[in-house]
Structure 1
Amino acid sequence: MRDRKIFVGRKIRAIRQEEGLTQAAFAARLGISTSYLNQLENNQRHVTAPVLLALAEKFSIEMRDFAGGDEDRLLADLAEVFADPAFGGQPPAPQDIQLVVQNAPALALSVLSLHRSLRQSGERLAELDDTIERSGVLVEPTPYEEVRDYFHYIDNYIDELDQAAETLADRLDATGSDRLAPLVDYAERRCGIRVMIETGADRAGTLRHYDEETRILRLHSRSGTATNAFQIAHQIGLVEYGELIGSVADRADFRSVDARAVCRIGLANYFAGAAILPYRRFLSAARELRHDLELLAERFGASIEQVAHRLSTMQRPGQQGIPFFFARVDRAGNITKRHSATKLQFARFGSACPLWNVHRAFEAPNGILRQQAETPDGRRYLCLATVVTKASAGFHAPVQTYALALGCEIEHARHLVYADNLDLARDTAFEPIGISCRICERPNCHQRAVPPLKQRLTVEPNHRGQLPYSF
């Protein structure tokens, strides 16, 4: 597959304007002509490696800023939006969508927001094809959708919170896998929070309850050490770093009070994960242990889910880890958590691709499944999947079961223990997967549930293949 040409005129112009330089002065610093710079800024020429290196050297710009992660996500999201029948007519050409994303990303985000406002509040209960109906009724995006998109477009990394959590971890001076006792001591000594880990059926189902008047934090013993340590770190974040969390939420500029409240919880969760798995120590251990989830969980006294989630956030400038995607899926195929620092995109609506190995994890609950997968854009991934079960509160209590998905692009696979003995060079070793049936254009998928929205169907009454139609 040929290397993709990179057009970053908007970013180059922003750097020049931040430096307060004219095009002539900026071009001189880069060692290029003014006319060439003008063409770069207007996306008439693609940026070359020498220019990227000059930008990094002369202006201390991180190369990752030009990786196009945000543009790839916007392109995928807009492609799905314009495939919606609600728009009707001929959808824009891919090059037109790319032009909008490159030159007017704010307009692209506005289109996504407008599309959300066209969505109807619910799905038809009896709709077997899982197609979402649209109407002219204006509806606001849900608070969870707003917050999900916020974390999605910042690569799930918040530097100031991550740094503050790492400072807290250094103060705890926790050794070995015991994170609970140092957190209890810190909460009581520095924050004035009394931690009570209780037993009994009356507290079953309650992970955390904090009384602001008495400053008592009540947890349940059945939750386990890893979960209780996380909940204590969460509460410390809200109490001791509440202003910082609030300022981050304010800058997100949510359209509703509820979205800001949901985001504060998400930010406190982010802080807790970063405090239990501090960036530099965790990154060093991940590299040492070749990203073995079980060994990392054992070393830090964390859960597999906490470790997998944390791996998807390791994008600190200058100290990046492997870009991972992470998702949590229930038995019905609903994605209840999702973060991606990779080019892999998750379906915004409907179910995920049935060929993705995360669905098979429920059939093999005692191990980690591996899959070499290729998406329609030609990118290849090493996908991992495993099942986790939340602790139950007794025989009559319901049990929560989820499948976790974690993966990275195949170029990073050699750094994972899970790539051992896999043939990463053989084309036939990679299974074709997609984002969702609604926008996947693979013509020969044996698991297709619905036709792709952008294709005209052909129905032959005298011929039947795997599907009752072709396109």
Structure 2
Amino acid sequence: MDLQNEKIFAGARLRRLRRERSLTQADAADMLGLSPSYLNLLERNQRPLTARVLLAVAAAFDIDVRSLAEGSDRQLVTDLEAAAADPALAALELDRTELTDLAETQPRAAEALTKLHQAYRNASESSADLAAQLEGGERAGRMNETEAVRNALDQRHNFFPALEDAAERFGSRLKLHVDNRSTVLEERLKAEHGIVVRTFEDDIMGRARQRLDFHTRRLMLSDRLSANARPMQMATTLALLEHADVLDAEVAAAGFETKIEEALYRNGLARYFAGAVLAPYEAFLTLAEKSRYDIDRLQRRFGLSFETACHRLTTLHDPRQPGIPFFMVRMDPAGNVSKRFGGGVLPFARSGGSCPKWTLSEAFRAPEKLLTQRFALPDNSEYLSIARAVSRPGSAQELPVMHVIAVGCEWGRAEETIYADALSRTPPTPVGLTCRLCEREACAHRAFPSMQREMNINPWRQAAGPYASDEHI
């Protein structure tokens, strides 16, 4: 992106940043070295943001300059499309241009609309769950709190400078490296907190992977944990014990509505801290760039699982040393998404399964094999995807727990990775976010009719699939 020559109007996002920090225009103008009147013109989109102002905003508000320069929030536009496609609003026939304009000019109003739609959808699902329960059915779990946490992580682009700084100081003080970290972390727990680390069999652990027993001062770890998982559990525990003030400050800044949301977010941040301790930002980014983001090499160097290495890739958003912006998703064999980071790169649908033409499902048929893919969404944006099915042992009565982990980036940055070399001459696979939001009617894989268009069903013609059609009204 040529910041010198491109005119960037981001008044609504600039105003939103200021209001989120409770700053007056005069205060913000002083921080940016501008006059209040000029800042007012910027916020009203009567002046474009110059390269100097963009860099000043990125430094003052500690954000990635791309979040201002890239245009509308893709995830917000996707959420608006889902709301507009709902039967309650479908008659208005709001198109993508109108929704993008709303997201760019009135982002707070757009967020309010999407939150209202999510609440409406959750209420409808709850009613259906309750009806099923009353009829003797099984109630499905709701994801309200999880979605709130995901929204908060996406707003921060999954990057937390305070946690990075604390983790760097902690790791340097203990002189951690991949060969000594298990021993050093175990000694830290014992010396500073009187906690000994013990390994127990599954029946004693009650299928838990880890449990801290404050009464006996023991950190109990399951014998099913891999060698790489043990330091992660110990570092997470130390984050909760020694860096509660940093975690609490981040939780308070997120402004959650429920204690459950706060607890989920806090646990996620503790694991973020642990990942930053095991894979320090600068060292991890240096090897990532040197190896062209070779995930297997990053795993070996830092002693990480595939999932943890992929997770760490999504956090490389320090404006002073930015890496490639990556997204990540974790999915089980039933299509349930249990972890998701858009990273400002790839928008995700809030409900519905993933597109079967994305290699996530295929990865389950080839465990531990790395599958790469170049795909395109209906808006013609293209991406690189790197997916692998991983598993961990279950209990004696259960099958192994399996997930597919996928990480990727925009195709424009893919050439910086080793994975794009074999795909550079391959046309992108057309993929949708979810069937209900996908406009590709002539698709044999379609599992649901599109919410975007009314189908024209011809009784005299058999389409490729139950909801596929090359005709529409």
Q: Distance in 1 between matches of 2:235 and 2:57?
A: 41
Aligned 8 A contact 2:13 2:104 in 1: no
Q: Is residue 7–residue 102 contact of structure 1 (8 Å, CA) maintained in 2?
A: no
Q: 1:177 to 1:91 in 2, by over 3 A?
A: farther
What corresponds to 2:133 in structure 1?
none
Q: What pairs with 1:420-431 in structure 2 (closer than 5 Å)?
A: 420-422=421-423, 424=424, 426=425, 429-431=427-429
Cα RMSD, aligned residues only: 3.0
1:414 counterpart residue number: 415
Partners of 2:344 and 2:460 in 1: CA distance = 44
* Equivalent pair of 1:178/1:301 in contact (CA under 8 Å): no
Aligned counterparts of 1:209 and 1:116: Cα–Cα separation in 2: 34
User: Structure 1: how far apart are the matches of 2:356 and 2:437?
Assistant: 14
> Which stretch of the first structure deviates more once superposed, 263-272 or 213-222?
213-222
In the TM superposition, residue 203 of structure 1 has moved relative to its aligned partner by 2.5
Tell me if structure 2 keeps the 8 A contact 1:370–1:382.
yes
Following the alignment from structure 2 to structure 1, what is the Cα–Cα distance between the partners of residues 367 and 437?
30
Partner of 1:391: 393
Contact 1:178 1:300 in 2 (8 A): no
Q: Determine the C-alpha separation between the residues in 2 that align with 1:230 and 1:81.
A: 39
In structure 2, give the amino acid aligned to 1:52: A
The equivalences for 1:112-191 within 5 A come to 112-119=114-121, 120-122=124-126, 142-191=144-193
Instruction: Give how far 1:107 is off.
Output: 1.7
Kindly indicate whether the alpha-carbon contact (under 8 Å) linking 1:346 and 1:352 is maintained by their aligned counterparts in 2: no
Percent of pairs with identical residues: 32
Q: Which residue of 2 aligns with 1:451?
A: 449
Taking the aligned partners of 1:123 and 1:233, their CA distance within structure 2 comes to 41
1:432 corresponds in structure 2 to 430
The structure 2 residue matched to 1:243, chosen from 245, 255, 261, is: 245
Does structure 2 conserve the Cα–Cα contact (< 8 Å) formed by 1:358 and 1:405? yes
Query: Structure 1 residues 241 and 256, CA, compared in 2 at 3 Å: closer, same or farther?
Result: same
Q: Is the 8 A contact 2:72 2:104 kept in 1?
A: no
* Matched-pair contact (CA < 8 Å) for 2:209–2:224: no
Gapped regions of structure 1 (runs ≥ 5): 29-33, 126-139
1:71 aligns with 2:70: no
What are the residue-to-residue correspondences of 1:325-364 with 2, within 5 Å? 325-364=327-366
Q: In the TM superposition, what whole-angstrom CA distance separates every residue of 1:388-429 from its partner, at most 9, and x where no partner exists?
A: 0113445x443101111111111222222222333x2x4x62
Partner of 2:55: 56
Matches of 1:82 and 1:58 in 2, distance apart? 33
Shift of 1:359: 1.1
Measured in 2, the distance between the counterparts of 1:11 and 1:338 equals 24
**CA shift for structure 1 position 435:** 0.3
Q: How does 1:9-20 map to 2 (within 5 A)?
A: 9-12=11-14, 14=18, 17-20=26-29
1:52/1:63 contact within 8 Å kept: no
Secondary structure of 2:412's partner? Answer: helix
1:361 & 1:178 partners in 2: Cα distance?
34
- Secondary structure at 2:266's aligned position in 1? helix
User: 1:365, 1:248 → 2: CA distance?
Assistant: 37
SS in structure 1 at match of 2:92: coil
Instruction: Give 1:404's aligned amino acid.
Output: I
Q: Partners in 1 of 2:209 and 2:306 — Cα distance?
A: 18
Which residue is 1:226 aligned to?
A: 228
Amino acid at match of 2:416: H
| Structure 1 residue 25, shift from structure 2 partner | 6.3
Alpha-carbon offset, residue 24 of structure 1: 13
User: Structure 1 residues 419, 402: CA separation in 2 closer, same or farther (over 3 Å shift)?
Assistant: same
2:458 to 454, 457, 460: 460
Contact 1:8 / 1:41 at 8 angstroms: preserved in 2? yes
Residues 177, 77 of structure 1: CA spacing in aligned structure 2 closer, same or farther, 3 A cutoff? farther
CA shift at 1:265, angstroms?
1.2
Q: Distance in 2 between matches of 1:271 and 1:58?
A: 26
After TM superposition, give the deviation of residue 59 of structure 1 in Å: 8.7
In the alignment, what sits opposite 2:287? 285
- Return the letter of the residue paired with 1:399: P
Flag the 1:334–1:38 CA change in 2: closer, same or farther, 3 A: same
One-letter amino acid of the counterpart of residue 408, structure 1:
C
Report the TM-score when normalising by structure 2.
0.85
Q: Which deviations, in whole Å up to 9, do the C-alpha atoms of 1:106-128 show, x marking residues without a partner?
A: 22222122112212234969xxx
Read off the aligned partner of 2:405 and give its amino acid letter. Answer: L
Shift of 1:344: 1.3
* Count of residues paired in the alignment: 441
